[in-house]
Chains A and B, each alone.
Chain A
Amino acid sequence: MAIFTTLTNANSAVPLILLLILNLLTPLASSLSSDSVVSELSALQSQSSTGVIHLTDPLLRRILSLPTPRPFHFLLFFDAQSLHSKAELSLPTLKSEFALVSSSFYTNNPDQKGLIFFFEIEFQESQSSFALFGVNSLPHIRLFPPSATDLKKDSIPMDASDFSRLAESMAEFIESRSRLSVGPVHRPPIVSKKQIAFIAIAILIWTPFFLKKLIAGNTVLHDKNIWMAGAIFVYFFSVSGAMFNIIRKMPMFLLDRNDPSKLVFFYQGSGMQLGAEGFAVGFLYTIVGLLLAFVTHVLIRVKNRTVQRVTMIIVLLVSFLAVKQVVFLDNWKTGYGIHAYWPSSWQ
């Protein structure tokens, strides 16, 4: 979920708007045919590898000068280089996802190229346009239907929920608002074809050597400790509910609703968990087993008897506290008061 932030240096907005409105009104008279603009846009689009056109103020003016209904929809991504470093806005991610939607649309619908255009606009160079659209927070994406005359009223802003699932939800947004079907989003594979080929060759070369070693019985696979570490990892991974976190995409912690400065690490309610919570408890589970290994493997090598005993007591104490803490947390989380059933005559 993106967090909206306010842009700071949009101070000279009012006169510029006037200027722009004037600009908007005047060229209507001059006969700029829509064909020339569309062909220009198409040219720009084919130059760009993803199909996203960098929008400048003059270009925007020309587009807006076209008589409505325009022959195309357009989608505008408001970008600000200066805010790319802010991780919570995740602008770079959204920008690349936006480009992904664009390229997917053009590959899926080559015959509909002129029906929708994807633009991105940079805050530093086009502050006036930002003001024109009344955009003062990012991330912001807007769809302009062909009939849109009033930039603020007739255009449709994309809600946070529409880009929460990245390119897929953006595509759904476009489909639901413009009746243009984007089709499946083509994500570039994590490893490119060349890399796959390289890896395949490397594996092929490596396999005979590995087999030779395997038969000789001297690979990492024959090392008991590797298996043991793997076993502990699988155990930790499972009991900490890491799978839950991955599938549900749970955050590590939440902000307290009543007091935003506080962080909530533990969620009360049995069917849910937060990331940090799971790892903390998984760690408590695992530490008991790890301490056992420590005691039986390392501690017995220590010569000093007192050190041995003190460590032993500490280990005992830590294990005891870990068990107690987990049981306490579980009771708190599920809200169950677990108790024994004694014969009624005993009470």
Chain B
Amino acid sequence: MVAKTEKSAVDLLKSPGMTSLFKSLKLKTKQQELLIRVTILFLVYVLAFITRLFSVLRYESMIHEFDPYFNYRVTQFLTQKGFYEFWNWFDSESWYPLGRIVGGTLFPGLMVTAYLIYRTLQFLRFAIHIREVCVLTAPFFASNTTLVAYFFGKELWDSGAGLVAAVLIAICPGYISRSVAGSYDNEGVAIFALLLTFYLFVKAVNTGSLAFALASAFGYFYMVSAWGGYVFIINLIPLYVMVLLITGRYSMRLYVAYNCTYILGMLLAMQIRFVGFQHVQSGEHMAAMGVFFLMQVFYFLDWVKHLLNDPKLFHTFLRITVTCAVGLGAIALGVGTASGYISPWTGRFYSLLDPTYAKDHIPIIASVSEHQPTAWSSFMFDFHILLFLFPAGLYFCFKRLSDATIFIVMYGLTSMYFAGVMVRLILVATPAVCLISAIAVSATIKNLTQLVRAKSKASHSASGKGTISKASSKGSLDQSLPFQRNGAIALLLGAFFLLSRYAIHCTWVTSEAYSSPSIVLAARGAHGNRVIFDDYREAYFWLRQNTPPDAKVMSWWDYGYQITAMGNRTVIVDNNTWNNTHIATVGRAMSSYEDEAYDIMRSLDVDYVLVVFGGVTGYSSDDINKFLWMVRIGGGVFPVIKEPDYLVNGEYRVDKGAAPKMLNCLMYKLSYYRFGEVTTEYGKPPGSQILYLLGMGLSPASTSAYISMVVVKLIFIKNQIWTKS
């Protein structure tokens, strides 16, 4: 269905039948064009929304993954207690015993957006639960992104490119992966904000309009409030301005646009507590400030040049000023860094510039699966034919170089590089790839259709190829080419074939790969039927029902948000990895011998330990698979934990031949506790996922640590058998 809609959108643009229909309605050509354009945009808008509903169709209306559960919990808090309570919220249920100042350590944009949508709907008398609002926020913003993409494409090239860009981005898997219904995460609204900021900035540069620069600053403010990825904007825009300055494209428009956006954007961004004074204090934001001062120097020089009218004098002056300015800037930066006023770059930022940095120095960053480097197949999976169109689009951009196309080329290349470093940054690259590819598609199709339409004007050479055919009008000497028209038609068909392959690919990927909530697992049964494993949620509800309300649960940080949101219990660490030492303590407990681990857990007041074990069903992302990272992170802070102790000849094994330390550490013991009994009974309950919940005895009276610890609840979710030993 999606494929059809997409096709029909493109068909609409070109089909002669439609045109004749409109002719009979006696509309002027311009009106017809407008009507078609608006219709297509509307269809794309709807398409972008409905294609993201696959997850609701296949599972149910629920929040996905890990981080969204925190966002959901916070949004619930916001709707119940109001904004100021939320802003000053100290959450004692996570990071026990430290707690977390939630208001000051999150990006509130997403929650406030959902809250406002919810209030608006309430005001319009739609009785809707906040969960549904949260589930549908990301698709709604994805739809809005298509509109921004249209206007951006229009600004960069022409309205045709804008339409194609809107269609491409509506179904591009790279974006869908983070914006399906239920994926209630910052990125969902942030990509909209990112593209909006860029669009408004480019518009401001093109027009020199103060209004657009102001709007861009507000777009930037929204972006800052929504996602930490705003650092990309605050570095890309200065880089872009720098390139314009170097290539001699300095203009008054640029001056107005950049200064207004930077100053206002900075002031606005400081209102977000989590960001605070970073814009003037952190090394990551210094490039923007440097370029700001450079702009003033440029403007000043321009003014002096205007006054002097003597080139020789001016050159002397220029030399002195530039040297002084650069020198002063360097000294200021040096003094600022040395005195500690300007903080150095954070690890995450540094690991983008030197990708091997994280692996060697910050295991907590390197351990996250979405921070892994990207293999070529991931690119193919997320972009499909856009990858082939991208160089072609770059080529078109270079052929028609303007301030706007320079921007999109820079955006495309930098984000492409970052996407190569981290899988999750494919998301940031997606709008750029879509826009650049759209330019390629639009320019090609435009040329081809001109060929088809031109009866025999014979001013074009009929050469083109595949998707990105050349069909350039440059330097052609042909008088008449006999197969010109047929060739063009064939190429057009080829292009549409490729585009429809893209649509098919995107639909399939959305439906099969990106709609999984990862908290509910689906598998194919022996007879091709779908088997749903809902063990996670059952386990969390078990926690909620069967443990004392003040129980403290220790688990690896991945499950922290879910336990607090669904189990409503206090956790030791969660997905907000702000305190590495605390996480390392948990890692150390998991990788120590039982008696040592017991002491650590007593010191943390732990009542229950949650371990995810997938050994029965072959679920691969369980804690045993993540265990090496616990060792690494634990060892990073506590050198008593050494990775080689858990390996056999550099190999990670969990079977009989595993390292003795491995076999006796807490994680292993918990994971395989009474595993033999499970497998013997395995023949009867087919394919079930097991979560072992291990509660520590609340009274430490018993002599052996281990005996008091093993209150194991095995949960056979499939058969609803709850055994307790």
Binding site for B on A (CB under 8 A): 159-161, 164, 172, 176, 208, 211, 214-215, 217, 221-222, 224, 227-228, 231-232, 234-235, 237-244, 246-248, 270-273, 277-278, 281-282, 285-286, 288-293, 295-296, 299-301, 308, 312, 315-316, 319-320, 322-323, 326-327, 330, 333-334, 336, 338-341
Contacts and interface: CB of A to CB of B under 8 A. Distances in A.
Contacts of A159: 649-650
Contacts of B647: 161
Contacts of A235: 390-391, 394, 413, 416
A185 to B, nearest CB: 12
Contacts of A237: 417, 420
A244 B247 CA distance: 33
Most chain-A CB neighbours within 10 Å: which of B1, B372, B375?
A: B375
A221 B420 contact: no
Nearest to A172: B644
A248 B373 contact: yes
Given A288-B468, A316-B465, A341 B511 contact: yes
Chain A interface main SS type: helix
Interface stretch (B36-44, B72-80, B378-386): B378-386
Given A286-B391, A289-B390, A323-B466, 11 more contacts: A211-B322, A217-B248, A235-B391, A240-B376, A246-B355, A270-B377, A289-B388, A293-B395, A338-B509, A341-B1, A341-B511
B416 A239 contact: yes
Given A221-B247, A289-B388, A289-B395, A273 B376 contact: yes
Contact of A290 (B391, B466, B649): B391
B374 interface: yes
Nearest to B483: A309
A101 B177 CA distance: 46
B465 A341 contact: no
B505 interface: yes
Given A243-B373, A288-B466, A312-B465, A334 B355 contact: no
A271 B372 CA distance: 9
A339 B508 contact: yes
Interface string B113-136: 000000000000000000000000
Most chain-B CB neighbours within 10 Å: which of A232, A234, A286?
A: A234
Contact of A231 (B387, B394, B644): B394
Contacts of A308: 463
B416 A234 contact: yes
5 contacts: A231-B398, A239-B376, A289-B390, A308-B463, A341-B3
Chain B interface main SS type: helix
Interface string B389-429: 01110110010010000000100010011011100000000
Given A161-B650, A234-B417, A295-B470, A300 B461 contact: yes
Which 7 residue pairs are nearest across A and B when measured between Cβ atoms?
A289-B391, A161-B650, A238-B420, A243-B420, A273-B375, A244-B373, A241-B376
B450 interface: no
Contacts of A232: 391, 394
Contacts of B388: 285, 288-289, 322-323, 326
A310 to B, nearest CB: 12
Contacts of B642: 172, 176
Given A235-B391, A235-B394, A320-B466, A277 B376 contact: yes
Contact of B381 (A270, A315, A320, A341): A270
A299 B463 contact: yes
A319 B465 contact: yes
A241 B387 contact: no
B374 to A, nearest CB: 6
Contact of A214 (B246, B359, B475): B246
Contacts of B416: 234-235, 238-239
A330 B377 contact: yes
B88 interface: no
B641 to A, nearest CB: 12
Contact of A285 (B355, B387, B644, B650): B387
B394 A246 contact: no
A330 B463 contact: no
A301 B385 CA distance: 30
Nearest to B394: A231
Given A234-B413, A300-B461, A319-B465, A241 B476 contact: no
Interface in B189-221: none
B684 interface: no
Contacts of B248: 217, 222
B377 A334 contact: yes
Interface string B89-109: 000000000000000000000
B373 A247 contact: yes
B318 interface: yes
Nearest to A236: B391
Nearest to A219: B246
Nearest to A343: B1
B355 A243 contact: yes
Contacts of A319: 465-466
Contact of B376 (A278, A296, A312): A278
Contacts of B470: 292, 295-296
A4 B385 CA distance: 45
Contacts of B247: 221-222
Contacts of A316: 465-466
Nearest to A279: B376
Given A285-B387, A288-B388, A338-B504, A315 B377 contact: no
A224 B398 contact: yes
B319 interface: yes
Given A215-B318, A271-B375, A247 B413 contact: no
A174 B465 CA distance: 62
B457 interface: no
A326 B505 CA distance: 14
Nearest to A314: B465
Nearest to A159: B649
B162 to A, nearest CB: 22
Given A172-B644, A231-B394, A338 B377 contact: no
B724 interface: no
Contact of A241 (B373, B401, B474, B512): B373
A347 to B, nearest CB: 15
Contacts of B376: 239-241, 244, 273, 277-278, 281-282
A231 B413 contact: yes
Contact of A288 (B374, B392, B463, B644): B392
Contacts of A300: 461, 463, 472, 474-476
Interface in B336-364: 355-356, 359
B225 interface: no
Contacts of B319: 208, 211
A344 to B, nearest CB: 12
B570 interface: no
B507 interface: yes
A292 B377 contact: no
B372 A326 contact: no
Contacts of A288: 388, 391-392, 466, 468
A228 B394 CA distance: 8
A246 B356 contact: yes
A200 B248 CA distance: 26
Contact of B375 (A228, A241, A292, A301): A241
Contact of B379 (A239, A295, A327): A239
A330 to B, nearest CB: 4
A172 B635 CA distance: 13
B381 to A, nearest CB: 6
B650 A164 contact: yes
B375 A278 contact: yes
Most chain-B CB neighbours within 10 Å: which of A271, A296, A323?
A: A296
A244 B398 contact: no
A334 B381 contact: yes
A341 B509 CA distance: 12
A295 B463 contact: yes
A7 B647 CA distance: 30
B359 A247 contact: yes
